Amino acid sequence: MSQELHIGLFGRRNQGKSSLFNLLTGQQVSIVSENPGTTTDPVKKSCEVFGIGKCVFIDTAGFDDAGQLGTKRVEKTLEMVSRMDAGILLVSGNAFTEEDKAFARYLQDAGVPFLIVHNKSDEIPLSAASRQMLQKSYPACTVLDFSVKQALLKISPEEYPCQALADALKDLLDRHGLVREPVRALEGIAGQGDVVILVCPVDAEAPKDRLILPQVMMARQCLDLHAMPFLCQAEELPAAMSGLAADPALVITDSQAFKQVARLVPDSVSLTSFSICLARQKGHFEDYVRGTEALSRLEDGSRILMLESCTHQVNCHDIGRFKLPAALKKATGKDLSFAYVSGLDPLPSSVDSFAIAIQCGGCMVSNRQLSARVGRLVKAGIPVCNYGMALAWCSGIFSRAIRPFVRTL
């Protein structure tokens, strides 16, 4: 299952961002108006783009917005940049202002590749001098002359109105390695004909009538690798194991069931968790392994930063808010304190006071979004591990739980 690519639409007010957003997604999602500052909060929409895959387009407020509210909107736009895989910077009228240049530098500094799209070319075409200036100043960028109005007139069953833009976007993503096959967590671990048992508890934390995304992702990876996924709950694991002609190649469990499952699975059988699988797939596996060692150095009063990459209603069965903190206190025997960051909320302005940060699997965010957060902590010298590794450490089976992946690194 490949990740969604997040692509932001940026520009000054009234450059046609919302019109292009609606055109790309094929729906009237953003409000379009000639009045400056119509778009306030970022607007998101998923869309399948042929040749690229699933993309999330984000319409943002103009970065030249003014006034007290305008300043807050600009801050929100800037905040979105670190979450983007790529950007589309809209300009018009052969005017590439100082604000445009400053935002282009902001994208470059953030490592976000981008296209420059000259919109409204039906009104004022892109001049040869402007094109030359843009190509000289931004040699890594494709400069595209475009008109949303003209593209809208081309809508027909045979012609995609944004084909030139989609082709340029695909070329940009290709050049930056963003349209490649994602790392598979189970690559080199499970193969054709192998049985992989997925232990999926159905408890108070399980969503109603469905599996959680990491369980679905690993089941799909098994199928892609021509392995055979076998799903059960922990209580049915002994029956599942005894019914096999040979040992499974791998058992993947929910991290919360580590202790119970580890007692049921012989040490000769590879065992890990969905969260640890995601650590390999989404990056920073080695950072997490090193960071987990810091758990043994925790002291009374140590502060731990818990990083949740999704938003959900919290209850007493919550792994990040209750179960993992309780397990850490019990395993360390220390009086620890915890702070929380949910979804894509920014990290605290100062992270120096934290002894360690613990990141969830990150199934709901892109690799770039997760890496922007974890990378900042690692650069600041803060140890980072993830939920699965922390729970494996608390259960006394950390080495065993990472063993399948250590062999393949």
Nearest-angstrom CA–CA distance, 61 and 172 = 23
Residue 379 reports pLDDT greater than 50: yes
CB atoms within 10 A of CB 58: 21
Most confident of 70-74, 81-85, 206-210, 337-341: 337-341
CATH topology of domain 195-277+400-406: Rossmann fold (3.40.50)
**Mean pLDDT value across the chain:** 87
Give the β-pairing of 195-199 and 250-253.
parallel
Top-confidence range, 91-100, 120-129, 193-202, 400-409: 193-202
CA atoms within 13 A on the CB side of 232: 15
Residue 59 to residue 10: CA distance in whole angstroms: 7
The pLDDT of residue 1 = 41
- Binning pLDDT at 50, 70 and 90, where does residue 306 land? very high
In SS3 terms, 133-178 reads as HHHHHCCCCCEEECCHHHHHCCCECCECCCHHHHHHHHHHHHHCCC
The strand pair at 337-341 and 303-307 is best described as parallel
Question: Does residue 404 have a pLDDT over 80?
Answer: yes
Residues 256 and 270: beta-carbon distance below 8 Å: no
Q: Return left, alpha or beta for 116; rule: phi > 0 is left, psi -120 to 50 is alpha, else beta.
A: beta
Residue 50 burial class via C-beta count within 10 angstroms: exposed 0-12, middle 13-18, buried 19 and up: exposed
pLDDT for res 317: 65
Residue count of the chain, please give it.
Answer: 409
Residue 180 is predicted with a pLDDT of 61
In DSSP terms, which residues pair with 339 in a beta bridge?
Answer: 305
- Show the CA angle centred on residue 304, arms to residues 300 and 305, nearest 5°: 165
Q: What is the pLDDT of residue 234?
A: 94
The closest alpha carbon to 151, from 165, 141, 171, belongs to 165
Is pLDDT at 83 greater than 80 in this prediction? yes
pLDDT score for 268? 94
Domain boundaries, the chain: 5-175, 195-277+400-406, 288-394
Specify the range with the lowest mean pLDDT, choosing from 136-140, 141-145, 244-248, 357-361: 141-145
Q: Please say whether the beta carbons of 21 and 59 come within 8 A.
A: yes
The reply to whether domains 195-277+400-406 and 288-394 share a CATH topology is: yes
HEC profile of the chain: CCCCEEEEEEECCCCCHHHHHHHHHCCCCCCCCCCCCCCCCCEEEEEEECCCEEEEEEECCCCCCCHHHHHHHHHHHHHHHCCCCEEEEEEECCECCHHHHHHHHHHHHCCCCEEEEEECCCCCCCCHHHHHHHHHHCCCCCEEECCHHHHHCCCECCECCCHHHHHHHHHHHHHCCCCCCCCCCCCCCCCCCCEEEEECCCCCCCCCCCCCHHHHHHHHHHHHCCCEEEEECHHHHHHHHHCCCCCCCEEEECHHHHHHHHHHCCCCCCEEEHHHHHHHHHCCHHHHHHHHHHHHHCCCCCEEEEECCCCCCCCCCCHHHHHHHHHHHHHHCCCCEEEEECCCCCCCCCCCCCCEEEECCCCCCCHHHHHHHHHHHHHCCCCEEEHHHHHHHHCCCHHHHHHHHHCCC
For 122-172, write each residue's pLDDT tens digit: 888 889 999 999 999 998 888 888 777 666 555 444 555 677 888 888 889
Question: For 5-175, which CATH class?
Answer: alpha beta
| Cβ atoms of 361 and 386 closer than 8 Å | yes
pLDDT of residue 409: 54
Q: What is the CATH number of domain 288-394?
A: 3.40.50.11410
Is residue 204's pLDDT more than 90?
Answer: no
Q: Is pLDDT at 312 greater than 70 in this prediction?
A: no
- Please check whether residue 366 is in contact with residue 6, taking contact to mean a CB–CB distance below 8 angstroms: yes
Q: Is 73 within 8 Å of 40 (Cβ atoms)?
A: yes
Q: What is the pLDDT of residues 8-47, one digit of tens each?
A: 999 999 898 888 888 888 767 655 555 555 556 688 888 8
**Residue 131 and residue 2: Cα distance in Å, rounded?**
35
Task: Say what the pLDDT of residue 148 is.
Answer: 73
pTM, entire model: 0.76
- pLDDT of 20 reads 87
* Mean local confidence (pLDDT), 299-307: 96
Mean pLDDT of 321-338: 95
Q: What is the pLDDT of residues 255-287, one digit of tens each?
A: 999 999 999 999 999 999 999 999 999 889 999
Percent of the chain with pLDDT over 90: 53
Residue 366: per-residue pLDDT: 80
Q: Tokens standing for 168?
A: 């340029």
Greater confidence (9 vs 319) lies with 9
